[in-house]
Structure 1
Amino acid sequence: MNDHTAKGRFIAFEGGEGTGKSTQSQLLAGALRTLGKQVEVTREPGGTKGAEAIRELLLHPPGEGWNAQSEALLFAAARADHVARRIRPAIDNGVWVVCDRFVDSSRAYQGVAGGLGDDAITGLHAFGSHGLRPDCTLLLEVDEDRLAQRLAARDGEDSDAIGGRSIDYHRAVAAGFRSLAEADPDGFHIVDGTGTPDDVHARVMKLIGPMVDPA
C-alpha cells in the first residue's frame, strides 16, 4: 500500500515564542517530501479561512482584548474548524500533516499560564475536535537568554497580543510545556532548539526516524 492510500500521519511542533517552530515545520515537510510523502504544512491558530479570521482576532484583538475564557474559546473554535476542514481530511487521504502548534499550546498558554487549568482546555478540545492528538509532538526548547535575542531580532517592538506578554507569563508557558511533555513521554519528544536550523532539523529527523521508516 503506498502513501497516497495509507492513512497519513500528524506531527505537531510546540514551544514558546521564537523557538523555531515555523522554520522546523518547513524543514521537516521538505525532508518528508524527499522521502516520497505527501505533506501539508499548516499552523494554529489558522489553517482554514475561518480559523485564520479567528487568528487575527486573537493576535490583534479589538477594544480591551479577551479575557482568559474568551481567548480559550476562540482558540478552540479555530481548532475545531481546522481539524474538521483540513487536518482530518488530509490524514484520511494519506497526507502527512505538519502543524506549527496544536492543542498543547492551548494547554500551556491558556491552561497553565492563563490559569484556566487543563480540564477546561481538554474539555473544549474533546467537544470541538473530538480529542484529536498528533501521532508525535515535538517540543522545541531554547534557553531564556537566546530566546530573548531571537524575539528581539524577529519582532523588535512589534509583538502581537500574546507574544508581547510578560516574561513571567512566558516562563509559565515554558514550564507548562515541559510538564506536559514529561507527563506523556510516549506522545512527546523534547528537542534542543539551540544551534543552526540545520542542527535542530537533524535532531528532529533522528527522533522521528522510526515513524518515517518503521522497519
Structure 2
Amino acid sequence: MTTNTVTGGHFITFEGIDGSGKSTQARMLADHLIAEGHEVVLTREPGGSKGAEEIRALVLEGDPDRWSAETEILLFTAARRDHLERTILPALAAGKIVICDRFADSTRMYQGLSRGDLRNVVDQLHDLMIGREPDLTILIDMDPAEGLSRAKSRQTAEERFEDFGQALQDQMRSGFLALSREYADRFRVLNGAGTPEEVATRVMEALAEHLS
C-alpha cells in the first residue's frame, strides 16, 4: 500500500501499554515512509533531545516509588518541552514527518490517571507548556498480561513502570481506550495481536484512512 498522499509537516504518535509493540511499529512505519521518499524524523518520549534523554534515565530507572506522581508530571513535561523545542517543531517546520513513540497521552495515563486523580494537572501543564497535539495517534491495543510478559522479557534497566505489575497495565489499557474515545478525531485503535508485519499492515491502513 502506498502512502504517497502523506504530506510533510505531519505529526504521528504511537501509544499503548508496555510491551504492545508500538516502538516496533513506529520504526516500521518510518522505514516504509523513508523508502517512499519522505523525510522522516523518528523519535521517542521521554527523550528525543539531549536534555530529554537525560531526564529519561531519571524517570524510567530505579525503584517504582522513586518519584511522586506530581514530580513525574513535572519531569515528563520538562522533557517534552525540550523535545518539542529542539526536535519536533523544527522538523515539522522543515516539512518533515515526525513519528514519535509516546507523547502527552502517555502522561495523561501513567501520571494523570494511574497514580492519583491528576489528569487535570497534566492537561493544565500541557496547555501551558506544550500546546500541541498529534495529527494522528495510533493506539496499539494489547492484552495486558501478554504486553507485560513481552516488556519484562526485554530485561533492560528501564523497567520502573513494568515493576508496578499487571494491575497498572490493566488500568492503562482501559484508560487508553477511554482516551481514544475522548480524542476520537485523531485516534485510531488497532489490534496488536499477530506478527509485526500483520500489525504493520493495519497501521498502513489506518494511515491511509486518516489521509483520505
TM-score (norm 1): 0.89
Amino acid at match of 1:146: E
Cα drift, residue 34 of structure 1 = 2.0
Local SS of the residue matching 2:200 = helix
Question: Within 2, Cα distance between the matches of 1:177 and 1:199?
Answer: 22
More divergent stretch after superposition (158-167 vs 109-118): 158-167
Q: Deviations over 1:173-213 (max 9, x none)?
A: 1111110001221110001011000000000000101455x
Give the match for residue 76 of structure 1: 77
Q: Deviations over 1:44-84 (max 9, x none)?
A: 00000000000011112489611110011000000010011
Local SS of the residue matching 2:185 = coil
More divergent stretch after superposition (64-73 vs 146-155): 146-155
2:35 counterpart of 1:34: yes
Count of residue pairs brought into register by the alignment = 207
Give the match for residue 88 of structure 1: 89
The answer to whether the 8 Å contact 1:76/1:124 transfers is: yes
2:66 counterpart of 1:65: yes
**5+ residue gaps, structure 2:** none
Give the match for residue 138 of structure 1: 138
Local SS of the residue matching 1:97 = strand
**5+ residue gaps, structure 1:** none
Q: Deviations over 1:143-171 (max 9, x none)?
A: 13322432343238x66212211221221
The structure-2 alpha-carbon separation of the partners of 1:62 and 1:166, relative to structure 1 and needing over 3 Å to count, comes to closer
Matches within 5 A, 1:147-162: 147-155=147-155, 160-162=159-161
The answer to whether the 8 Å contact 1:68/1:116 transfers is: no
Cα drift, residue 105 of structure 1 = 0.1
TM-score (norm 2): 0.91
Aligned CA-pair RMSD: 2.1
2:159 counterpart of 1:163: no
The answer to whether the 8 Å contact 1:108/1:174 transfers is: no
2:118 counterpart of 1:117: yes
The structure-2 alpha-carbon separation of the partners of 1:34 and 1:65, relative to structure 1 and needing over 3 Å to count, comes to same
More divergent stretch after superposition (162-171 vs 197-206): 162-171
The answer to whether the 8 Å contact 2:148/2:166 transfers is: no
The structure-2 alpha-carbon separation of the partners of 1:149 and 1:203, relative to structure 1 and needing over 3 Å to count, comes to same
Local SS of the residue matching 2:43 = strand
Local SS of the residue matching 1:164 = helix
Give the match for residue 204 of structure 1: 203
Cα drift, residue 37 of structure 1 = 1.0
State, as a whole percentage, how many aligned pairs show the same letter. Answer: 40
The answer to whether the 8 Å contact 1:113/1:170 transfers is: no
The answer to whether the 8 Å contact 1:140/1:190 transfers is: yes
